Amino acid sequence: MNCLSNNKIQEYIDNELDASELSLVSNHINSCEECKKLHFELLADISFVNDALSVFKTEPKNIPSIEKYSDIKKVSVFRMPIFLKVSAAVLFIAISISIILAYYQKPEIINENEMMYYSLMNDSDPNEQWHDNQMLITISNKKNEIVFSFLMDNND
Amino acid sequence: MKESIVLFTLVLLIGATTRSQNISEIYKNEIIKLEAESGYGKLNNWEDIFSTPDFSLITHLGLHNQIAVAPEGSVFMSHKYLPEIWKFDTKGNFVKKFEPKNSKPGNSPTMPQVEGIFNGKYFFTINGYDGIQFFDFDGNHIKTLSLDFSPANCRSLENNKIAVFGYIPWKNRHSKRIIIIKDFISGEEIVIWSQIVNNKRGNMVVNLNDGSKMNLSIPGSSPIPRMATSKSGNLIIAFPDDGHVSVYSPEGIEIKSFQLKIEAVKIAQEDIDEYYNAGKSNVGRFEKRLKESGNFSNEEIEDMVSQYKVQLEKLRDKNVYPDHLPYFTNIIVDSEGNLLVFEYTERKHKASNKFRVYSYNLKGEFLNSSSFVSDEYKLRFSSHSFIFHNNYIYNVAEKKQGSGNLMRLVKFKVSE
């Protein structure tokens, strides 16, 4: 067995190796001077760091061990086909537009021409209109343009 | 010789003073008789001047021959149906006619309207979308003040200012009524009053089969504010809805306001019946006019007449009408600066052609109540066709008796 890497020895110190690997690594450290030396050095580093941190007098924390990926239970996930996703989005937009169109009333803008015709009734003598029973009839086309006007009274 | 000159001057001064008091004094009479000045416009062929055009060719409406009187007494008149302005000299004789810019038929839904005299040297007109046009007394175009709304009428004020009332289209068949004061030189304007109104009020709107619409007016609904210029050049605005009057300086500052003490005429069931019956008797004429216009197919005319009849039945409902007519019809300022407020009159006064006139000074003080009458003419009380000028009244009126077209430009002397 070749010499161990720093990371592998660190994993050994941190108890992150599985049982089969733990045995191999432990045997190698005990039999290899180089790795044993590196192991001691890393332990010394940890001791140094712990000594340095001890000045903060923090209580030791019990850090839970990291769950191995192989131990995570696999959950089956249903993946919707892309055409279904697109169809659902289109359907949602279509329904939204339908609702907006159903409840939205287009503002009916009164035509300037029409307003001027109304003002004509006001700008002549209203008392005369009252006595003569004048009635202004206007007809506007789809574009709201006045196409016919007729001022009816008793005198014509 | 010196004594004669002094005496002559005194006579002139007394004469002038006496004459200037005439109008205020004359309102103490219950009836003010107007006498047409004989010989005024005697060279005119009135039949030609006021000839009625072929209605089948008319697609535009004009106002009832509005006039403005220049300081020296010449008169400018807009035609009811044609895009023309006519000038009459100081003796009432026709001088010439001319057309304001862009006034050809089809350019605007209305005819150009003469609105008044500005600064004593120009007369001005409005015409749909073309703003306010100013002309010298020979008819030469001087200036156009553009507007971003449709003007309905204007008043000339002091300090190179002009007041304009007009309309702005609004959504949902509403419109914004607006009064601005505009500077003749800079074109700057300030809004002094505005109001958003529902245009369905005052009109019955009917959807026709082909998607077009028919509107029928309802009397006494949604009256517009009336404007006049005080003798000192301020703007008077009177509101027929509530009988309130406000006076504004040419700079747009409200100087004073007061309430007219007028009782509004109630709309009675007899009035509604008469209006309905008048509408009913006009069905045939409505159909005839639709055919004459040449704009509609037989099916369309049938639909329109049918809808008209349906709407007529709705006109029998009292709820369609306001409870009462507006508080007044028009305001006019006389040569002395008195404010005359013309009322609605009950229908029984129609035959006598009597119109009660209330006079107020600009403090809002009630002076008297009176009526103008003329034996010879049916008077027209509109602020643009009943003009006081140097203690005379100019009016576009209709002769009571005669044949043919009876419309005339008349200069009245005021007498007790």
B74-104 residue pLDDT tens: 999 987 777 789 999 999 999 998 887 766 5
In sequence order, which residues have a C-beta less than 8 Å from that of residue B173 and are 6 or more positions away?
A108, A110, B198, B199, B200, B205
What is chain B's mean pLDDT, rounded? 83
Q: What is the pLDDT of residue B227?
A: 95
Distance CA A113, CA B106 (A): 12
Question: Which uninterrupted H or E stretch holds B4?
Answer: helix B2-26
Q: How far is CA B37 from CA B392, B394, B409, in A?
A: 10, 10, 11
pLDDT over 90 at A80, yes or no: no
pLDDT over 80 at B233, yes or no: yes
Structure token pair of residue A95: 């329904």
CB B75 within 8 A of CB B137: no
Distance CA B161, CA B155 (A): 9
Asked if the Cβ–Cβ distance from B217 to A136 is below 8 Å, we say yes
Higher pLDDT, A57 or B137: B137
Tell me the one-letter amino acid at B274.
E
Site of tokens 């008819």: B139
CB contacts, 8 Å: B169 with chain A? 109-112, 115
b/e map of B353-366 (b: 16 or more CB within 10 Å)?
Answer: bbbbbbbbebeeee
Q: What is the pLDDT of residue B19?
A: 44
pLDDT over 50 at B16, yes or no: no
Asked if the Cβ–Cβ distance from B152 to A109 is below 8 Å, we say no
B367-376 residue pLDDT tens: 778 888 898 9
Q: In which band, very low, low, confident or very high, does the pLDDT at B8 lie, cut at 50, 70 and 90?
A: very low
How many helices (H) and strands (E) chain A has is answered by 6, 2
Angle of CA points B50, B56, B60, to nearest 5°: 70
Distance CA B78, CA A155 (A): 22
Cα dihedral B125, B130, B135, B139, rounded to 10, equals -90
Distance CA B267, CA A131 (A): 12
The stretch B3-20 carries a mean pLDDT of 46
The stretch A41-59 carries a mean pLDDT of 76
CB contacts, 8 Å: B274 with chain A? 133
Distance CA A9, CA A32 (A): 12
Backbone angles phi, psi at A123, to 5 degrees: -90, -15
B112-171 residue pLDDT tens: 889 999 999 999 998 777 789 999 999 999 999 999 888 888 999 999 999 999 888 887
| HEC letters along A115-130 | HHHHHHHHHCCHHHHH
Handedness of CA B274, B280, B285, B290 (dihedral sign): positive
Higher pLDDT, A58 or A86: A86
Distance CA B385, CA B153 (A): 13
Structure token pair of residue B71: 């300081």
CB contacts, 8 Å: B355 with chain A? 127
CB B38 within 8 A of CB B395: no
DSSP per-residue string spanning B66-112: -EEE-TTS-EEEE-SSSS-EEEE-TTS-EEEEE--TT-STTSSSB--
Question: What is the C-alpha R_g of chain B?
Answer: 23
The stretch A45-74 carries a mean pLDDT of 69
Q: In which band, very low, low, confident or very high, does the pLDDT at B220 lie, cut at 50, 70 and 90?
A: confident
Asked if the Cβ–Cβ distance from B216 to A135 is below 8 Å, we say yes
Q: In which band, very low, low, confident or very high, does the pLDDT at B180 lie, cut at 50, 70 and 90?
A: very high
Q: What is the pLDDT of residue B57?
A: 45
CB contacts, 8 Å: B272 with chain A? none
Distance CA B130, CA B151 (A): 9
Asked if the Cβ–Cβ distance from A107 to B217 is below 8 Å, we say no
CB B92 within 8 A of CB B409: yes
Q: What is the pLDDT of residue B293?
A: 81
The stretch A68-88 carries a mean pLDDT of 75
pLDDT over 90 at A23, yes or no: no
Asked if the Cβ–Cβ distance from A135 to B217 is below 8 Å, we say yes
Backbone angles phi, psi at A39, to 5 degrees: -60, -45
Across A15-24, B179-188, B331-340, B356-365, which has the greatest mean pLDDT? B179-188
Structure token pair of residue A70: 């192989």
Find, in chain A, the residue whose alpha carbon is nearest to that of B283.
Answer: A152
Asked if the Cβ–Cβ distance from A152 to B285 is below 8 Å, we say yes
Give percent above pLDDT 70 in chain B.
83
Domain definitions of chain A by residue range: 6-66, 112-152
The stretch A102-129 carries a mean pLDDT of 64
Residue to mutate among B56, B58, B212, with most A CBs inside 10 A, is: B212
How many Cβ pairs closer than 8 A exist between chain A and B?
A: 154
* Closest Cβ–Cβ partner in A124, A131, A148 for B293: A148
Distance CA B415, CA B31 (A): 10
What is chain A's mean pLDDT, rounded? 77
In sequence order, which residues have a C-beta less than 8 Å from that of residue B190 and are 6 or more positions away?
B180, B181, B252
* Closest Cβ–Cβ partner in A119, A127, A141 for B342: A127
DSSP state of B342: E
Give the closest-approach CA distance of A100 to chain B in angstroms: 18
Asked if the Cβ–Cβ distance from A120 to B110 is below 8 Å, we say yes
Higher pLDDT, B155 or B312: B155
Q: Select from B251, B245, B76 the least CA-distant residue to B163.
A: B251
Residue to mutate among A133, A143, A146, with most B CBs inside 10 A, is: A133
Distance CA B235, CA A48 (A): 96
Q: What is the pLDDT of residue B10?
A: 44
Least confident of A53-57, B47-51, B181-185: A53-57
b/e map of B378-396 (b: 16 or more CB within 10 Å)?
Answer: ebbbbbbbbbbbebbbbbb
B344-378 residue pLDDT tens: 887 766 544 455 666 666 666 777 788 888 989 98
B27-65 residue pLDDT tens: 888 888 899 999 999 999 988 888 766 554 444 455 567
Find, in chain B, the residue whose alpha carbon is nearest to that of A153.
Answer: B278
pLDDT over 60 at A148, yes or no: yes
ipTM over 0.85 threshold:
no
Least confident of A6-15, A109-118, B169-178, B195-204: A109-118
Q: What is the pLDDT of residue B59?
A: 45
CB B159 within 8 A of CB B251: yes
Asked if the Cβ–Cβ distance from A120 to B384 is below 8 Å, we say no
Higher pLDDT, B23 or B294: B294
Least confident of A8-17, B28-37, B96-105, B401-410: B96-105
Q: What is the pLDDT of residue B13?
A: 42
Domain definitions of chain B by residue range: 268-320
Q: Select from B414, B396, B262 the least CA-distant residue to B334.
A: B414
